[in-house]
């Protein structure tokens, strides 16, 4: 019955679950709200698993396609589909939402139903962004997902939550305005279609492609975020509740990088090639400079936030490494694997900080020390995630970084050398933080009174540890699903460049 509507289920099940949670009412019914949210998140996640099991690895195009006319006057369609590039992000998003519901189970005590509903509704909107095949549908989901995150930071965040939420909203909204202008131009150029596939089939002049590239870059670079439009992210992470930071790092940053693959490269391949040096330069600044900024942070969440910017710099670097006129397949696949890995690892790191914050109510590194003495189970899991964040082999953090560095070596040796410094900086800021927080003698009475993780927290840690180790030990489970779509994208970009070059001669 539902096998032809799996993507609609992935979108609307969490949204409807969120609406149902809202009807539960005030905090007197908090327990009921939690259980409805958990069941809704679990069912929504299970609904995405057939996307993985039924996915045809050798098929490069869109699968699980749904296409209905939405607004006939403007030829706008409710069109959904995923390929090997977008498959894992739908699953990762639903998986993260389930963990976020568990993470906030006991921590959130006020407006519980609103908190749970915000995450569920946002989960559906994010899935819509990854699955949309119509530009207007994508734009609606892309913009609407800002609203729940704005509320999550603004209502349940820290002391400067209003400042952080407004800054987050304005940065990401203003960047998206040029995206709408680009879509309207492409609608006209394609003869009245908003189909993303029709946009990708257009043969546009070099000058038009450069203008479109600028519009796409303005929108997606802020979402990633790339240096120098990254300043909203540390503020948002520091003020957001633990669940907000988990979703922000694990999922919402990925939509910006996804936009580069879905729009920038296939629609404006000539501009992407000519301006790839700019993306590579900004990405290397994120890897090197932001890595050094992370080294001096005194706040654990701010350190991990800067770490996310550095790791996402690795992603954009991999997407724009050209050998001649062709993208490097190792780098592109490595960047995609890095996106998935970062979703697991960053969510785990923010959850670990949240576990300590719930007990001590401080994120300052100086307020800790000797945590291993009172929380040995927690310290063991935190060590695994810290190692993964530093790119240790056999963890998920190593796989994507290795492939991007290997691809960079083929494109430019010195770019590879600078990119590889992420392994040094990553180990530096992550392990130094871990040493100061976890090892040594018990630093103060607050640490002495800590209790180790409870059953709920242990469950979340075990699940995240399994994903980090599973991907690190068997990355082919992920790579084989995306290979055909990545190859198709690389071929499309190269062929369109050649076509534009032929027209200009």
Structural domain includes residue 114: yes
| 394-429 residue pLDDT tens | 899 888 888 888 888 888 888 888 888 877 888 888
* Per-10-residue mean pLDDT, the chain, length 505: 80 94 79 91 93 89 90 89 92 93 85 90 94 93 90 85 85 83 91 89 87 90 84 82 86 88 90 89 88 88 88 88 84 91 91 90 88 92 92 88 88 84 84 90 84 90 94 90 90 79 59
How buried is 179 (Cβ within 10 angstroms: 0-12 exposed, 13-18 middle, 19+ buried)? buried
Residue 362 CA to residue 381 CA, distance in Å, equals 20
228 preceded by cis ω (within 30°)? yes
Q: Write out the two tokens for 195.
A: 């189909």
* DSSP conformational letter for 260: I
Which pLDDT score is estimated for 2? 62
| Domains in the chain, number | 1
293 preceded by cis ω (within 30°)? no
In DSSP notation, 184-203 reads HHHHHHTTS--BHHHHHH--
The pTM assigned to this predicted structure is: 0.92
Which pLDDT score is estimated for 158? 80
Residue 278 CA to residue 319 CA, distance in Å, equals 12
Structural domain includes residue 182: yes
How buried is 156 (Cβ within 10 angstroms: 0-12 exposed, 13-18 middle, 19+ buried)? buried
Structural domain includes residue 220: yes
Structural domain includes residue 470: yes
Which pLDDT score is estimated for 210? 92
Distance from chain centroid for Cα 418: 23
Q: Write out the two tokens for 5.
A: 């509507």
Structural domain includes residue 65: yes
Residue 436 CA to residue 369 CA, distance in Å, equals 6
* DSSP conformational letter for 28: G
Which pLDDT score is estimated for 3? 65
By residue range, what is the domain housing residue 363? 6-504
Which residues sit opposite 71 in a β-bridge? 76
Structural domain includes residue 1: no
Residue 230 CA to residue 411 CA, distance in Å, equals 27
| CB count in 10 Å sphere of residue 388 | 30
Structural domain includes residue 366: yes
């Amino acid at each position: 019955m539902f096998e032809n509507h799996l993507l609609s289920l992935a979108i609307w099940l969490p949204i409807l679950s969120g609406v149902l949670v809202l009807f539960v009412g005030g905090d007197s019914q908090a327990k009921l709200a939690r259980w409805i949210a958990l069941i809704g998140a679990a069912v929504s996640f299970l609904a995405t698993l057939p996307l993985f099991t039924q996915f045809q690895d050798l098929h490069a195009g869109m699968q699980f396609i749904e296409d209905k006319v939405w607004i006939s006057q403007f030829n706008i369609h409710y069109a959904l589909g995923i390929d090997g590039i977008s498959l894992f992000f739908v699953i990762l998003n639903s998986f993260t939402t389930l963990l976020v519901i568990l993470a906030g189970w006991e921590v959130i005590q006020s407006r519980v139903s609103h908190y749970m509903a915000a995450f569920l509704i946002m989960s559906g909107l994010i899935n819509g962004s990854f699955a949309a095949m119509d530009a207007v549908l994508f734009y609606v989901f892309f913009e609407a997902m800002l609203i729940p995150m704005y509320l999550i930071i603004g209502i349940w965040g820290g002391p400067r939550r209003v400042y952080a939420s407004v800054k987050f909203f304005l940065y990401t909204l203003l960047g998206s305005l040029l995206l709408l202008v680009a879509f309207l131009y492409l609608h006209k150029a394609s003869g009245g279609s908003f189909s993303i596939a029709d946009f990708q089939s257009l043969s546009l002049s070099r000058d038009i492609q450069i203008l479109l590239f600028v519009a796409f870059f303005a929108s997606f670079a802020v979402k990633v975020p790339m240096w120098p439009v990254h300043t909203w992210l540390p503020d948002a992470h520091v003020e957001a509740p633990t669940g907000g930071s988990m979703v922000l790092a694990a999922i919402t940053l990925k939509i910006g990088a996804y936009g580069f693959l879905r729009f920038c490269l296939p629609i404006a391949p000539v501009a992407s090639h000519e301006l790839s040096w700019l993306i590579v330069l900004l990405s290397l600044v994120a890897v090197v400079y932001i890595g050094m900024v992370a080294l001096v942070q005194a706040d654990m969440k701010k350190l991990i936030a800067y770490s996310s910017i550095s790791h996402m710099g690795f992603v954009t670097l991999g997407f724009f490494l050209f050998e001649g006129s062709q993208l490097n397949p190792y780098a592109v696949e490595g960047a995609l694997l890095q996106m998935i890995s970062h979703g697991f690892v960053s969510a785990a790191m923010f959850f670990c900080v949240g576990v300590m914050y719930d007990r001590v109510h401080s994120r300052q590194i100086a307020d800790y020390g000797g945590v291993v003495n009172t929380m040995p189970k927690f310290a063991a899991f935190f060590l695994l995630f810290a190692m993964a964040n530093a790119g240790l082999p056999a963890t998920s953090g190593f796989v994507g970084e290795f492939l991007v560095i290997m691809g960079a070596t083929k494109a430019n040796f010195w770019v590879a050398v600078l990119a590889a410094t992420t392994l040094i900086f990553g180990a530096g800021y992550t392990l130094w933080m871990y040493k100061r927080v976890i090892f040594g003698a018990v630093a103060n009475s607050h640490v002495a009174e800590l209790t180790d993780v409870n059953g709920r927290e242990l469950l979340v840690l075990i699940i995240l540890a399994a994903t980090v180790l599973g991907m690190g030990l068997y990355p082919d489970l992920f790579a084989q699903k995306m290979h055909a779509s990545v190859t198709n994208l690389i071929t499309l970009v190269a062929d369109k460049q050649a076509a534009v070059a032929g027209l200009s001669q």
